[in-house]
Chains A and B, each alone.
Chain A
Amino acid sequence: MAVIQIDKIAVTEADNAPPHQSLWQRNENFLLGLFSVTGFLLFWEFSVLSGWANPLFISSPSRIFNAAYEMFADGSIYPDLLVSAQEFALGYGLAVIVGIPMGILMGWYTRLNALLDPFVNALYATPRIALMPLIIIWFGVDLSAKIAIIFLATVFPIIVNTMTGVRTMERDFVKVARSFGASDGQLFLTVALPSSVPNLLTGLRLGLGHALVGIVVGEMYGASAGIGFMMQTAGATFQTDKVMVGIIIIAAAGMALTGVLRMIESRFDVWRPDHHV
């Protein structure tokens, strides 16, 4: 082992090894999060147990857990889950299928962009929930109305972000592609598309949030099933526990779907300097 003697401080090879870290140091962020969440849940539970807070208003972790257990055990939650999942899949799926090509076309063809931009801009700026009464007039209160509202909520962020991605491709790359004799189609495939992927995924992620809002609000206007509907009826009858279960399901769905998108993103993003696996 090489030992360099500097005054009385010996620098050995062991000093070049990564410093030893305790379990706490390695997982500090995670453990701190765990700590705060556990603390919060305990405080919540205890404040209800001690009679300090009324469970009718704020429920409690154990009550929520019991309510969720019951709803899953007797199977009463499944039809609601299924309906909401169906609405989401169809509404969001349709928005992706329509939004990405629209965004690409609007980014690529300046004339098409000039033609459609006023509409896209106006609708992007309008809270789409405001269209709900209109949608009920057009589609009634069944599944198609929910799909329509989720679609409208989602499609504009996808269009706008995809379009921005295609439009903002770097001129230097265009010059390189042209210099190598790229046709319009090749320029599109090798430059416009790859450089717009980050924006496109941002659009998908923004759209996701809007879609979840669409589910909840859509089902609050005359529906017969769904998580939003379940929360609405539970809320009207002061079943706070059930409302909380609904909130948790929506939140969990949002987090899980964002996680999926992030995984897709990191697959497409290996070339970016700030990429983290």
Chain B
Amino acid sequence: MSAQVKLESDGVRLAFYNERMKRRLLVLDGIDLTVFTGELVAIVGPSGCGKSTFLSAVDGLVKTDAGSIKVDGHAVTAPGPDRAVVFQQDSLFPWYTVMRNVTYGLELQRRLSKAEIAERGATLIELVGLTGFAEHYPHELSGGMRQRVNIARALAPDPELLLLDEPFAALDAQTREFMQSELLNILARAKKTALFITHQIDEAVFLADRVAVFSARPARVKEIVTVDLPSQRGLDVKLNQRFRELHDYLWRSIQEEAVRTPIAIGAS
């Protein structure tokens, strides 16, 4: 891992106007976080603490009120081709085939020719292990397959930074574990830097090089835990003693915050 900075979030503050409470609600209260090139950083924290909001801010979908977010030294003001999101929900376009979903970003960019786009699409479909399903529609696929398409779609424009917003939350436990190790394979092959949001502590420990714990809302980075497990991980690492220790440590850390969390309002 080189020590080159990919993402730098410096004192990011963000408030939303809350309709129900008729006042502005501070969601992010100065997020300081650095992600290095090639790293996978997971963000965990109590429900409703602002993890997803932070990810949206990094993507450029929401504006921050103070502080700065820089990707490769450039300030983020709007979504750009250097970042891509693997969304939480089943967000594939149901009216497009797997192929059209995967190449969606490329088609919008109008940078490549039709043939190049088709070729890149086919490569990515193969990368995520869906060869033969290019002409299927999302409703014909299982949940796990759909999230593979979702990952391929995010990878297509060749982003520098991959943002994953609880991509496996809706999958059953078995599929989720399988997809976790698949994600590690895919990321290793695609050589990407990734920021990963999750509710599942074991998922965070399994996937991440470092885990950032967000405090209760308004969120700050409470602590950053380095996962000192071998970087080549198989699912059996979850049986490892050190894995258990890290898991339990993070669990306590989040639990401390969770009891301080006011009633969750809106999405996390």
Contact = CB atoms under 8 A, between A and B. Distances in A.
A180 B95 CA distance: 17
A188 to B, nearest CB: 12
Nearest to A274: B139
Interface in A155-181: 172-173, 175-181
A273 B139 contact: yes
A176 B85 CA distance: 8
Contact of B95 (A172, A176, A186, A195): A195
A110 to B, nearest CB: 18
Interface residues of A, number: 20
A180 B96 contact: no
Nearest to A170: B91
Given A175-B87, A180-B157, A271-B139, A191 B108 contact: no
Interface stretch (B25-33, B76-84, B201-209, B225-233): B76-84
B94 interface: yes
Nearest to B104: A180
Contact of B79 (A180, A194, A195, A272): A180
A270 interface: yes
B89 interface: yes
Interface in B59-98: 59, 61, 78-81, 84-85, 87, 89, 91, 93-96
Contacts of B109: 181
A197 B93 CA distance: 14
Interface range for B: 20 to 34
B144 interface: no
B129 interface: no
B93 A191 contact: yes
B61 A175 contact: yes
A1 to B, nearest CB: 32
B137 A270 contact: yes
A194 B137 CA distance: 14
Contacts of B137: 270-271
Contacts of A272: 94, 139
Interface in A182-210: 182, 186, 190-191, 194-195, 197
A69 to B, nearest CB: 48
A131 to B, nearest CB: 38
Contact of B85 (A173, A179, A186, A271): A179
B157 to A, nearest CB: 7
Interface in B100-154: 104-105, 108-109, 137-139
Contacts of B138: 271
Nearest to B138: A271
Given A179-B85, A181-B80, A181-B109, A173 B61 contact: no
Contacts of B95: 194-195, 197, 271
Contacts of B59: 179
B93 A190 contact: yes
Nearest to A183: B108
Given A195-B95, A271-B137, A272-B139, A176 B108 contact: no
Nearest to B78: A181
Contacts of B93: 173, 176, 190-191, 194
A178 to B, nearest CB: 6
A61 to B, nearest CB: 46
A180 B84 contact: yes
A134 B78 CA distance: 54
B105 A172 contact: no
B158 to A, nearest CB: 13
28 contacts: A172-B89, A173-B91, A175-B91, A176-B85, A176-B87, A176-B91, A176-B104, A178-B61, A179-B59, A179-B61, A179-B84, A179-B87, A180-B157, A181-B78, A181-B80, A181-B109, A186-B108, A190-B93, A190-B104, A191-B93, A194-B96, A197-B95, A270-B137, A271-B94, A271-B137, A271-B138, A272-B94, A273-B139
Interface of A: 172-173, 175-182, 186, 190-191, 194-195, 197, 270-273
**Which 9 residue pairs of A and B lie closest in terms of their CB atoms, listed nearest first?**
A194-B95, A273-B139, A180-B105, A271-B95, A271-B137, A179-B79, A176-B91, A172-B91, A179-B85
